[in-house]
Amino acid sequence: MTVSLSNPLVMMVAKRTALGFLLLIAISVVIFAGTEMLPGDVAQSILGQSATPEALANLRAEMGLNEPAHTRYFNWFGGMLQGDLGTSLSSGSDISEMIASRLSNTLFLAGWSALVAVPLAIFLGMIAVHYRDGFIDKFISMTTLAAISLPEFFIGYLLIMFFAVTWNLFPSTSIIYEGMPFLDQMTAIALPCATLTLVVLAHMMRMTRAAILNVMSSPYVETAELKGLSPFKIIFHHAFPNAISPIITVVVLNMAYLVVGVVVVEIIFVYPGMGQLLVDHVTKRDVPVVQAAGLIFAAIYIFLNMFADIMAIIANPRLRHPK
C-alpha cells in the first residue's frame, strides 16, 4: 500500500508538520535569547562573589561563553536535535537523565487528569444538551463558569484546606518516587489531579455543549426525531459524531495545557515534575536546564496542536479535500 504525495490529506499533514518544525525553531531562538538577556553573570553565579577574575575567565572559556551568541545557539540547538541536552551547571548532572524522570512524572499526572476530565466533560456536555435551558443545564453551566473563573492556585489551596487539612483524606504534598505502590501514587496525585481536572473540565464541557447544539437543528437530526428516537440516542448517535471535529480540537488543546500548564499546580503540591524542575533551576540560574525544559514544553505544545489540526481534518471530510 503506497501513499501518494498528491493526496490532499498527506499534503496538509506535511505542511502542518513543516510549519510545526519552523515554529519550534522560532521558539528556540526566543528561549535562547531570553535566557541570554537574564541579568547577572552565569560564571559569577556559579563561582560566587569571591571568585578571582582568572577563575571567572577560565570558566567562561570552558562553558563557551566567550563565543558569539549565534555560534552558541547553533551548538545548543544542534545538540538538542541530536538528543544532547547538555550538563547542569548547578549539579554537573546530565540534563537528559534529570528530565527523563521528571517528564514521566508530569505525563503521569497529566495523563490521569485527562483520563478523568475528557470523558466527564463529554458526558456533562451531552447531559447539558439533553436538558438544555432547564435547571440541570443551567446548574452545569453556572458551575463550570465558576470553575473557569477561579485560577488553578486558588482551587489547589481550597482542595488542600478541605481535603488535606480539615478532613485529612489526602496528603497536602504529592511526593511520588520510583517503585512506589500504585495505590499510593493515586492517593498522592489525587488533589493535583482534581485541580487540573476542574481547570480544564469547564472549557471542554462548554465547547462540547456548543458543538452539539450547533448540529441539533440539522435535517438529519430532525429526521431522527420524526422516527421517534429518544432524545439522548439522537444526541449520542447522530449529533455527537457530527460535532466531533471541534470537540477533538478543544480536547487536544486542553491536553496540551495539562502538560505545559502544570507548573503552578506542581509548585503548589510540591510534585516532582517538569514544572518544579524548571522553577528550581530558574532560581539557581541554571541556564542549560531552563533552556532544555522550555524547549521540551514548547515541543509538546506544538506537537499536540499539530495533532489537533490533523485529527480535525481526519474527522471532517470537508477539510480533507481542496476547496
**Residue 198: inside a domain, yes or no?**
yes
* pLDDT at residue 318, rounded to an integer: 59
- 79-137 per-position pLDDT tens digit: 888 888 888 877 778 899 889 989 999 999 999 999 999 999 999 999 999 898 899 99
Sign of the Cα pseudo-torsion (286, 98, 194, 268, in order): negative
The CATH number covering residue 175 comes to 1.10.3720.10
- Please give the helix or strand (H or E) that residue 28 lies within, else none: helix 8-36
**Residue 31: inside a domain, yes or no?**
no
Confidence of residue 1 (pLDDT cuts 50, 70, 90): very low
**Residue 100: inside a domain, yes or no?**
yes
Other CB atoms within 10 A of residue 181 CB: 8
**Residue 126: inside a domain, yes or no?**
yes
How confident is the prediction for the chain on average, in pLDDT?
Answer: 85
- 246-260 per-position pLDDT tens digit: 888 888 888 888 888
C-alpha cell at 74: 547553533
- Structural domain total, the chain: 1
**Residue 113: inside a domain, yes or no?**
yes
The region of weakest confidence among 36-50, 56-70, 215-229 is 36-50
**Residue 25: inside a domain, yes or no?**
no
- Which pTM does this prediction carry? 0.85
Q: Which residue has the higher pLDDT, 40 or 189?
A: 189
**Residue 69: inside a domain, yes or no?**
no
DSSP 94: B
- What distance in Å separates the CA atoms of residue 240 and residue 277, rounded to the nearest whole number? 40
- 158-202 per-position pLDDT tens digit: 999 999 999 999 999 999 988 899 999 999 999 999 999 988 888
Domain that holds residue 226: 95-320
Please check whether residue 199 is in contact with residue 147, taking contact to mean a CB–CB distance below 8 angstroms. Answer: yes
Task: Using the predicted structure, report yes or no on whether residue 3 has a pLDDT greater than 60.
Answer: no
**Residue 127: inside a domain, yes or no?**
yes
